[in-house]
Amino acid sequence: MNLRSFKVLIVSTVVVLLGLVGSGCSGNSTEQQPQQTSGGYTLAVGGKSPIGGTSKENSQGPVTVSAQWMGEKNGSLVFSISMNTHSVNLDVFDLSKLAVLVDDSGKNYAPISWLSEPGGHHRSGTLAFPIPDTLKQGQAKYIKMDIKDIAGAGNMVFKWDL
């Protein structure tokens, strides 16, 4: 074997070895790790996470409400809620009594908690629900949240396709 053939053999071997090592480290594993968001929330619940974004917004009447899917934390499905208006005191609206979560089978889930500081015309907080059965089982196609009648705004619906 001459020196040139030997160099070609060495370079070929190195390329093959790098390819093997690289494919083992490329993250092509079929096991999916839950995606973590800030604050210790697990974005994917039951192997499902929102398609098309985690944030939804609805404006009706004098109020704009934004809802963001935070994910699972401590066995609850948690949403960050922001309400804004220029004409109504939002402190009088208790989302633990006005909101409901609905899974794709039509089952309703009442909130576990609504944690919010007073804010007058600009109020935000976290709204937590039990994790819907279809979501726990990884079978949910969508989850929607209905919030009833904030300042005469009617029913606001926020839907997350999964």
Kindly state whether residue 108 falls inside one of the protein's structural domains.
yes
Instruction: Write down the residue that tokens 């994790």 correspond to.
Output: 131
User: Where in the sequence is the domain holding 64, given as residue range(s)?
Assistant: 38-161
For residue 104, count other CB atoms closer than 10 A to its CB. 17
Kindly state whether residue 29 falls inside one of the protein's structural domains.
no
What's the whole-number average pLDDT of the chain?
83
pLDDT over 60 (residue 98) = yes
Of 74, 75, 143, residue with least CA distance to 109? 143
pLDDT over 60 (residue 26) = no
Kindly state whether residue 84 falls inside one of the protein's structural domains.
yes
Kindly state whether residue 3 falls inside one of the protein's structural domains.
no
6-10, 55-59, 92-96, 151-155: segment of lowest average pLDDT: 6-10
CATH number at residue 81: 2.60.40.10
Kindly state whether residue 144 falls inside one of the protein's structural domains.
yes
Report the number of distinct structural domains present in the chain. Answer: 1
Q: Which residue has the higher pLDDT, 35 or 79?
A: 79
pLDDT digits (tens, 9 = 90+) for 112-137: 999 999 888 999 999 999 999 999 99
Kindly state whether residue 28 falls inside one of the protein's structural domains.
no
pLDDT over 80 (residue 36) = no
Kindly state whether residue 26 falls inside one of the protein's structural domains.
no
